[in-house]
Amino acid sequence: MQFGIMESVISIAADFGRHGLLTHEIRSRIGELENEVEAAGRMATVLPGERRDSAGDAGARDHVETGWRLVLESAPLDSHSYGVTYGGPFEEVSARVMPSGPAQTGPGPARPGWELPGRLTALVHRVLTGRGPASRAERSVEQAAARLGVLALTLLTLQDAEARQHLDIATRVRVDRNAAKALEEREAHANLLLSLPAVGEALRIMYRPPLPERLAHKPRPGEEDAEEYASYERSLEAWEDLDFGRMRLFRFGTTSVILSAHLRDGVPSRSAHPLVLKCVLLPYAQVPAISQATFSYQQDYSPWTDSPDAKESLTSTVEVYASACTWILMEQAAGRTLHDVLTEDYPRPADDRPTLEGVVPRPLLEPEVRPQFGLLPRVVPPLLKALDELHTANLCHADLNPRNIVVEAPPPGDAGEWRMRFIDLGRNHLQGRSFTGTQRMDELYAAPELRAGEKPDAHADLYSLGQIIIGTCGIDRNPDGTAPDAFYAVTPTLARLVEDLIDPAPERRLLLFPEVGVLVGRHDPRGNSPHQRLQAVFEREFEALVTAEGGALEDEQRRWVRAVRLLAPMAGSPRRQLRLGTCRRRQMVASPEPERRLLDRSVKQADWLTAWSWLSGTMWLVCLVTVVPLSLHDLGVPIPLPDMIGAAQRASTGADRLAARMTGLTFALCAVKYYQSIYAGLSSRWPGKPPTLGRPGLVAEFWVRANALIVGLLVVPINLFAPRMWTLGSAVGITSAFCVNHFGYRYALRGAAQAHEAGIGTVAQPKNINGLSKYAMWGPSMLIYVVIVWSFSALLVQGVLLDVIAYACVVSGINVGLFYVVKCSAGARDVRIGLTRCYLAAERLEACSADGRAAPSSADSLP
């Protein structure tokens, strides 16, 4: 056995160690190797580089490779561990093993200089600049330098991954100029390294597929090993066909570096597509699960390779030509990743993008930037189409995120369809294990069951789809993974669908849309697959959103428009509800029979809410057309009044009349605003079913709707026939509003709490629902107000208090200032969002218990 090369590696490694380039761990592992050699008792008898016999030489080479693998496998994964082990910033230390730009002047191509310390610098420099190598020792140094190049490539990739780990399509933070420059430099460095023949050769040697462990110990493979051996030979053959001199950087990955690859001259190409070689970084490749998944990648995700027909039909993945424990050779998909397309072509408006300090709260009247809902029809259908194909082939992606989807997208102005293809299939084995101590953004997309290490199925991809929908809209995510507020604020219908996709429990996904059914198989009588049905559901809900919003999805609202909308008594709700109802009816009519039954419920629900929204609005208008002419009459405008009304006016004092007008109008204003800005789209009652949560649902529903009428029913008769009863009217009015508050809150709280207790993960703990907490705070102030109004009314009726006008002014002022402006205008959005979350949670809870949902199947309820 030849130990010479081994010795030189050990000496180089020791040299690295002296210069702080080796971790303590590697040092000790190299120490172990030394001991091993010493134990064999031959260490001192061999000289570096001497060749004794070929078997011994091969053994020594193995040892050399083992030594180098140790160095590469132990590369620190992030700047923190880099700092701890090497005592310097990531960039600075890695620069020591990186060519530092063209150091050569004079004739010939520019060659890199090296910033390695000490004796090694001179040797490596000599090797790389082509002066030498002459001696055997230097030859081994050449190998060492080349392997250092591979280490540098690894470090560059890790640096890049660290720089990108917090970028997500939701925030669309574009890399700033410095980061872009740093990326360019990293890419240039990587290509410089790859342009060195020695580095290409080192890559070839270090990533060459090893004989599988099991076979390595057998003198000759038996029949039972035939398949494994054949697969090893195939990958070896594919490997040897590659031209390592022409490898160039294609893209840095997170756990791998992607190189554009070419075949050696004369080797016939099997594909018309350009090739990429994904080299898994050695620190990750040593994780058995990762190397196993990489090894079997070609078999797992190109099962159609041997069947030309199947290959034709599966277009949603890239073709994989070969794979081994540390690399995958595959087709290069045309286009950019979904992450790049959204970030580069559809950035969030500059003032809306989060800064490093987080999102700056937008002042109330600032123009609101709406989520980019308009992008959804471009992203969701092609994604579902690709998923359909994948799931039909009995595959699931299991790591679906925007960086693993390549999109062929026409430029932003072009209405052409997007085409999506998947790369990097299979569970991400880094999920749930912290290699670097920080959470990467990709983890947000992984279904909880994946993170828990369970076997994934198509439902895991549904979860990722839901998170991609959220990200596509360019809204900040909720840290707990639930759908962000903007969905609930603008489109509860879409929020409901997104919730149904991202339920942490896979068996509860698609609970509210039984028409989709289970995800795999099961074409309906019309030949539609579950994915096509899901697409139809998405298109239906999206149409409902667009119609409800009057077609203006991404309207940037000017400050005054926003102020008017914010303060308008009806907040546009009656029209919105009407449009929604019309849309639902149209959808129902256009649907075939089984879905029509399901949609019928939505239509009835929309009709119910539309009717109440219009009733509430009508009540307000009736109050207005009653009180305004009476007030004008009070001011002496000659408006003829019917006898009965005229008599009633004359029977009351001027102060009572004024008080009745002021308080009546302001109470009516508050009632309509309260209803329209908070409850117009919410109901605990679903047609044909008892209210959700039973009694609390019924009571809440009663008070919410009743309050929309009560105030009008009080204001109109009091103003017409008994102005002096205004004190009683005020007291009853505020009590009714208090009941809405109290019972509405209790219902919402109970819905969220019970859903949370039942493990429904789409809703946070009630105390963490911001809007609900705000709504809870309305209660005490409302109660105090109720007590005050009742007390003052009693004192006024008793004649203890005499200053009617002052009291009426205070009540009207509180109505307008506190209730109308502060609570029902400025604070309504948050409360509505919180309540919508709770109402949806209650609906989900109800659906779960009705369905007895434990198994991931709504197939039984399939139409």
Ligand X SMILES: Nc1ncnc2c1ncn2[C@@H]1O[C@H](COP(=O)(O)OP(=O)(O)OP(=O)(O)O)[C@@H](O)[C@H]1O
Rounded Cα gap, residues 538 and 541, in angstroms: 5
CA distances from 113 to 105, 341, 401, 432, 477 (A): 11, 37, 39, 41, 46
Q: Which span (56-64, 253-261, 621-629, 664-672) binds ligand X, by CB under 6 A?
A: 253-261
The tokens describing 464, both together, are 């990722």
Measured from each CB, the residue nearest to ligand X is 253
Q: Which is nearer to Mg ion, 424 or 843 (CB)?
A: 424
One of 388, 424, 500, 843 touching Mg ion (CB under 5 A): 424
Tell me the closest approach of the beta carbon of residue 386 to ligand X, in angstroms: 14
Rule CB under 5 A: is residue 404 a binding residue for Mg ion?
Answer: yes
The tokens describing 163, both together, are 């720089």
Q: Which is nearer to Mg ion, 231 or 256 (CB)?
A: 256
Rounded Cα gap, residues 332 and 540, in angstroms: 35
Tell me the closest approach of the beta carbon of residue 255 to Mg ion, in angstroms: 8
Q: Which span (59-67, 399-407, 659-667, 810-818) binds ligand X, by CB under 6 A?
A: 399-407
CA–chain centroid gap for 655, Å, is: 60
One of 97, 206, 333, 838 touching ligand X (CB under 6 A): 333
Residue ranges in 270-309 that form contacts with ligand X under rule CB under 6 A? 276, 278
Q: Which span (12-20, 35-43, 398-406, 540-548) binds ligand X, by CB under 6 A?
A: 398-406
Q: HEC states along 480-498?
A: CCCCCHHHHHHCHHHHHHH
Q: Which span (53-61, 348-356, 404-412, 659-667) binds Mg ion, by CB under 5 A?
A: 404-412
Q: Which is nearer to ligand X, 442 or 843 (CB)?
A: 442
Number of residues binding to ligand X, judged by CB under 6 A: 20
Q: Which of 535, 490, 530 is nearest to 376 (CA)?
A: 535
Q: Which span (326-334, 401-409, 563-571, 823-831) binds Mg ion, by CB under 5 A?
A: 401-409
Q: Which span (201-209, 325-333, 468-476, 849-857) binds ligand X, by CB under 6 A?
A: 325-333
Whether residue 653 contacts residue 807, with contact meaning beta carbons closer than 8 Å, is answered with: no
- Four-residue CA torsion sign, 536, 539, 542, 543: negative
Residue ranges in 503-532 that form contacts with Mg ion under rule CB under 5 A? none
Task: Provide the greatest CA pair distance for the chain.
Answer: 128
Residue ranges in 233-252 that form contacts with Mg ion under rule CB under 5 A? none
CB atoms within 10 A of CB 207: 21
Rule CB under 6 A: is residue 318 a binding residue for ligand X?
Answer: yes
The tokens describing 540, both together, are 């239906």
The tokens describing 533, both together, are 């049905």
Rule CB under 6 A: is residue 330 a binding residue for ligand X?
Answer: yes
Q: Name the binder of 258 from ligand X, Mg ion, none, CB < 5-8 A by kind.
A: ligand X
Rule CB under 6 A: is residue 332 a binding residue for ligand X?
Answer: yes
Q: Which is nearer to ligand X, 291 or 573 (CB)?
A: 291
Contact partners, residue 73, CB within 8 Å, separation at least 6:
282, 283, 285, 286
Rule CB under 6 A: is residue 323 a binding residue for ligand X?
Answer: no
Q: Name the binder of 372 from ligand X, Mg ion, none, CB < 5-8 A by kind.
A: none
Q: Name the binder of 251 from Mg ion, ligand X, none, CB < 5-8 A by kind.
A: ligand X
Rule CB under 6 A: is residue 23 a binding residue for ligand X?
Answer: no
- Four-residue CA torsion sign, 46, 49, 54, 57: positive
Residue ranges in 334-393 that form contacts with ligand X under rule CB under 6 A? 337
Q: Which is nearer to Mg ion, 424 or 457 (CB)?
A: 424
Q: HEC states along 745-792?
A: HHHHHHHHHHHHHCCCCCCCCHHHCHHHHHHHHHHHHHHHHHHHHHHH
Q: Which span (324-332, 354-362, 467-475, 735-743) binds ligand X, by CB under 6 A?
A: 324-332
Rounded Cα gap, residues 310 and 476, in angstroms: 41
Tell me the closest approach of the beta carbon of residue 164 to ligand X, in angstroms: 7
Whether residue 284 contacts residue 290, with contact meaning beta carbons closer than 8 Å, is answered with: yes
Phi and psi, residue 698, nearest 5° = -65, -45
Residue type present at position 371: P
Tell me the closest approach of the beta carbon of residue 256 to ligand X, in angstroms: 4
The tokens describing 563, both together, are 């102020």
Contact partners, residue 737, CB within 8 Å, separation at least 6:
670, 671, 674, 707, 711, 782, 819
Q: Which is nearer to Mg ion, 428 or 666 (CB)?
A: 428
Q: Which span (188-196, 304-312, 418-426, 605-613) binds Mg ion, by CB under 5 A?
A: 418-426
Please compute, for residue 683, the number of CA atoms within 13 A of its CA located in the half-sphere on the CB side: 23
Residue ranges in 74-133 that form contacts with ligand X under rule CB under 6 A? none
Rule CB under 6 A: is residue 467 a binding residue for ligand X?
Answer: no
Q: Please give the residue ranges that form the binding site for ligand X (CB under 6 A).
A: 251, 253-256, 258, 276, 278, 318, 330-333, 337, 403-404, 406, 423-424, 442
Query: Which residues of this chain interact with Mg ion, rule CB under 5 A?
Result: 404, 424
